[in-house]
Amino acid sequence: MSPVVHSQCGDHQVYEDDLSLLNLGEWLNDNLVAFFIEAVSLNSPNTYILSPSVSSFLVHQLDPDDEDYAEECAKFIRGAIPPLLEEKKMDKSVEVDLVIPINSSFSDPHAAFMQLGQGTHWSLLHLRICRSKEHNTFDLHHVHYDSSPRNSNLPTATSFLETFNQSIVAAYGHTSVNSSTEMSMSPLPTFTSSESIKQSDGWSCGWYTLFFARTVILNVSQPSFDLNKLQNEFLSYLLKYKV
């Protein structure tokens, strides 16, 4: 029997079987994480999301050694962050925000064969991507929000960012109509995590990740973490986008 869709926002669906994971003590899966962030970002036109499934594809399925790597990267970037490779904007400077839920499985070499979202920890990577027309460079400003007291997803987020950088440069080289123009990536600054609030249990990292995403997308100062308020907001989105 096919899973029953409960709510859908954009390309992201929540199934009836996912709803029990909204209870206290449960670990949010990739469907719930992607759905909430999509719902929050609908009124933020310059904000884009890399869902866990898309990020997993980038990490585990795109191989730099493949001869069609640049073409596949161009398809990936064009689908995920359209403004970066739109032909009508190739001669203009572009700035976009990218919100990326980071799953610890991204750094697991066996994760390509696992069910999505089966890692052990969620965190959030926020990228501001600036493409400079004048200097033919991409600048990435990044902040990593991790509710783990030990910032346990930092190595995974760092590795993901390196892979993402490589894909952008390859995609631009494949897309550029002027083959003599090379777009380079500015050197990455030292990767650090923000001084974000921390969880005190072993299950709420997904909720903290949603809290961080909401704060970033709405560009509001980080208030105190209120799980009940966040759950109620989630339920309101489920009702609003119920199928």
The pLDDT tens digits of the residues spanning 167-198 come to: 877 777 655 444 344 555 555 545 556 778 89
- Indicate whether 99 belongs to any domain: yes
Q: What digits encode the pLDDT tens for the residues 19-62? A: 999 999 999 999 999 999 999 999 888 898 988 888 888 888 88
What pTM, to 2 d.p., does this model score? 0.86
Residues 6+ apart with CB under 8 A from 46: 95, 96, 97
Cα-Cα-Cα-Cα dihedral of 144, 142, 94, 38, to 10°? 0
Q: Whole domain around residue 81: which residue ranges?
A: 39-225
Higher pLDDT: 220 or 40? It is 40
- Number of domains composing the chain: 1
Q: What residue type is assigned to position 92 of the chain?
A: K
- Indicate whether 234 belongs to any domain: no
Strand pairing partners for 131? 94, 138
- Indicate whether 26 belongs to any domain: no
- Indicate whether 134 belongs to any domain: yes
Could you write out the DSSP letters of every residue in 31-89?
HHHHHHHHHHHTT-TTEEE--HHHHHHHHHH--TTSTTHHHHHHHHHHHH-GGGT-GGG
| Mean of per-residue pLDDT scores for the chain | 82
Decide if pLDDT at 119 tops 80: no
- Indicate whether 209 belongs to any domain: yes
Report d(CA 13, CA 179) in Å as an integer: 40
- Indicate whether 173 belongs to any domain: yes
Of 206, 225, 223, 228, nearest to 35 (Cα)?
A: 206
Report d(CA 34, CA 5) in Å as an integer: 15
- Indicate whether 185 belongs to any domain: yes
- Indicate whether 150 belongs to any domain: yes
Report the range of poorest mean pLDDT among 11-15, 90-94, 124-128, 141-145.
90-94
Decide if pLDDT at 111 tops 90: no
